[in-house]
A and B are shown apart, each in its own frame.
Chain A
Amino acid sequence: HLATSLPLPSERDHLRPRIDLIAFMIDIKSKYSLKNVEASLAHVDASFFLGKVCFLVTGVGRVNYCSVEMNAIWKLGEVYCSPVLFCELELEGIRVATAQRLVRMLQICAGHIPGVSALCFGSLMRNSADD
């Protein structure tokens, strides 16, 4: 499901399946996208932050056009205890690889991988990032 911001429009509530993973996309070239994500985070139930939220930062290939500070992004990841992924949507290889990562995460969050829970995976990702 694609949405431009949260909260989701209520008229489709009955059509929506259970949400297993929320990926917030931040375009590193647009300060507005960061602001939009920060505003939308306020509408997310606390239980999602136990491994079912991640931040996807796009547009990292073009270094000259960064508008968003890296510190702000790291801080966001820390404050909301969620992993931060970086990708460049314009390159097919990276796009496909990122999609595969997200699908993997989704499988874990949906409970399809026995023995690994979303929370456990989330803390695994966070610990490896700190190293």
Chain B
Amino acid sequence: MDETVAEYIRRTVLKIPRDEIKTMLQKWGFLSETQLQTINFHQIKENISQDVVQLCEENSADIKQAAVLDIIYNHIYPNKRVWSVYQMNKTGEETEFFDLTDFKKKFKRRLRSALKNVTINFREYEDNAIWIRIAWGTPYTKPNQYKTSYVVYHSQTPYVFVSASVLKSNLPLLCQALVVASNYHDIREMELRSHSLNSLKDIVFKRYSQNFQTYCPRPLQERNVAPESADLRIIQENRHEKERIQRVNREVFGDGPQPQLEFAQYKLETMFKSDSKMDVLDKKEPFRCMVKFSSPHLLESLKSLAPAGMADAPLSPLLTCIPQKARNYFKIREKKSLFPGSFMKIIFKDHYRAWGRRDSWNIDVSKKFPSSFSGY
């Protein structure tokens, strides 16, 4: 067995949490049950990985099998990578029958014709998802198994999820191969990125709970709203306002859990608007500014802002449109802007841990579970 393959398998096993190693090796299926019985899974990972490599040596593993183990690992822990979403287009209405073998053949051929030194592996999963692992080399060097891109393609949809990792220069080639193999005409990158692959799928396949506009001509007299505190001696004076906020929030965000995103980024290319006393710029040129919201769970944080008293309800549509528009990177321009009222007007009652360079703000909207909202 190749030294590099042995090392690669060893390092892959080391990534896996110790309690999961056995199940993952069983999923891999390369080592037999009897072989797995011989490994002591309670020793330190260093030793477990050595034992695994030893057994793989006996079975003469090659890079193809090692790659499969890597795919399995990434399928179970996709959130360690950053995923972007691409959408493919085809003109014409015909829905062609999807042939998996044809897809794989065309993909490999296209990719290899441009770059000989690539390792390509496929693995199919139940939800029509095809996972493709590509290890990139250069025209002069063998594929580097540690510089991999992952592609997840749901064959019944025009969407592709790509985790490109370091080699951005290979992206056009990858996109081309995908378009050719899947019989589409072109592909474009959507402005949607996150660590959580499942959340990206939820957003794009519209699987999250969406809000439905409910029209109430008169606010309903809610007599049986569950009291926030069980203690009847505590009386909330602003109960109506709180209820209004909950109602508005529910209309905007829906009832279910939100897809998990870590960032929302807004690039402003708008004119600086101020009263004439504050003439910051002599020339009338666009004020370039970037606002980035970051959080372990951005949408849940936004959902809890108004109930926590940190922002007015309803929130700015620029924030609440993120799942519907399936994007979390925005460019806001002066004229022909996405929303009427061209500049971003977010009423934040406090610069909640806002800091920034001269031209950008980073606003940290971290959510502390379970109940209170805070920035630490």
Interface residues of chain A, those whose CB is within 8 Å of chain B, are 1-5, 8-9, 11-12, 29-33, 36, 62, 65, 67
Whether, in the assembled complex, B113 has its beta carbon less than 8 Å from a beta carbon of chain A, the answer is no
Min distance, Cβ B303 to any Cβ of chain A, angstroms: 19
Give 1 or 0 for each of B8-51: 1 = CB within 8 Å of chain A CB. Answer: 00000000000000000000000000000000000000000000
A12 to B240, CA, bound (A): 11
Q: Are B237 and A3 in contact (CB under 8 A)?
A: yes
Is B334 an interface residue, CB under 8 A from the partner?
Answer: no
| Residue of B349, B350, B375 with highest tally of chain A CB at under 10 A | B350
With CB as the reference atom, state the residue of chain A lying closest to B374: A29
Report whether B376 and A65 are in contact in the complex, using a CB–CB cutoff of 8 Å. yes
Q: Residue-by-residue, is B288-320 near A (CB-CB < 8 Å gives 1, otherwise 0)?
A: 000000000000000000000110000000000
Q: Are A32 and B237 in contact, CB atoms less than 8 angstroms apart?
A: no
Question: Please, which residues of chain A bring their CB within 8 A of the CB of B374?
Answer: 29
- The verdict on A31 contacting B351 (CB below 8 Å), with A4-B309, A65-B375 known, is yes
11 A-B pairs, CB-CB below 8 angstroms?
Answer: A1-B237, A2-B235, A3-B238, A4-B241, A11-B240, A29-B374, A29-B375, A30-B352, A31-B350, A31-B351, A33-B350
B361 nearest CB across to chain A (Å) = 16
Looking at the assembled complex, report how far the CB atom of B139 sits from the nearest CB atom of chain A, in whole angstroms. Answer: 53
A2 touches B376 (CB 8 A): no
Nearest residue (CB) in A for B240 is A9
CB distance from B307 to the nearest CB of A (A): 11
Q: Are A9 and B350 also in contact (CB < 8 A) when A4-B309, A29-B375, A65-B376 are?
A: no
Contact A30 B376 (CB under 8 A): no
CB atoms of B350 and A1 under 8 A apart: no
- Bound together, the chains give a CA A116 to CA B309 distance in angstroms of 38
Would you call B278 an interface residue if the criterion is a C-beta within 8 Å of the partner chain's C-beta atoms? no
B350 adjacent to A30 (CB under 8 Å): yes
Q: How far is the CB of B64 from chain A (nearest CB, A)?
A: 52
Residue of B nearest to A5 (CB): B238
Q: Is the CB of B349 within 8 A of A32?
A: yes
Label chain B's interface by main secondary structure.
loop
A51 CB to closest chain B CB (Å) equals 23
The answer on a CB contact under 8 Å between A67 and B236 is no
Q: Please count how many residues in chain B sit with their CB below 8 Å of the partner chain's CB atoms.
A: 17
Query: When the two chains form their complex, are residues B237 and A2 in contact, meaning their CB atoms are under 8 A apart?
Result: yes
Question: What is the bound-complex CA distance between A31 and B235, given in angstroms?
Answer: 26
The verdict on B234 contacting chain A, using a C-beta distance below 8 Å, is yes
Residues of B within 8 A of A67 (CB): 350
Give residues of chain B (323-362) contacting chain A, Cβ–Cβ below 8 Å: 349-353
Residues of B within 8 A of A9 (CB): 237-238, 240-241
- B231 CB to nearest A CB, Å: 11
Q: B235 near A1 (CB under 8 angstroms)?
A: yes
Q: Note all chain B residues with C-beta closer than 8 A to A31.
A: 350-351
B191-206 contact mask (Cβ, 8 Å, vs A): 1 or 0? 0000000000000000
- Rounded to whole angstroms, the CA-CA distance of A1 and B237 in the bound complex is 6
| CA distance in complex: A2, B231 (Å) | 13
Contact residues in B for A36 (Cβ distance below 8 Å): 349
The docked-state distance in angstroms from the alpha carbon of A50 to that of B241 is 31
CB nearest neighbor in B for A8: B237
CB-CB nearest in chain B for A89:
B372
Chain B residues with Cβ below 8 Å from A8 are 237
- Residue on B with the closest CB to A17? B235
> Provided the pairs A62-B376, A65-B375, A65-B376 are in contact, do residues A32 and B350 lie with their beta carbons within 8 angstroms?
yes
In the complex, per-residue mask of B203-241: 1 if CB is within 8 Å of any chain A CB, else 0: 000000000000000000000000000000011111011
Shortest Cβ distance from A92 into chain B, in angstroms?
15
Q: Please tell me if the beta carbons of A4 and B238 are within 8 angstroms of each other in the complex.
A: yes
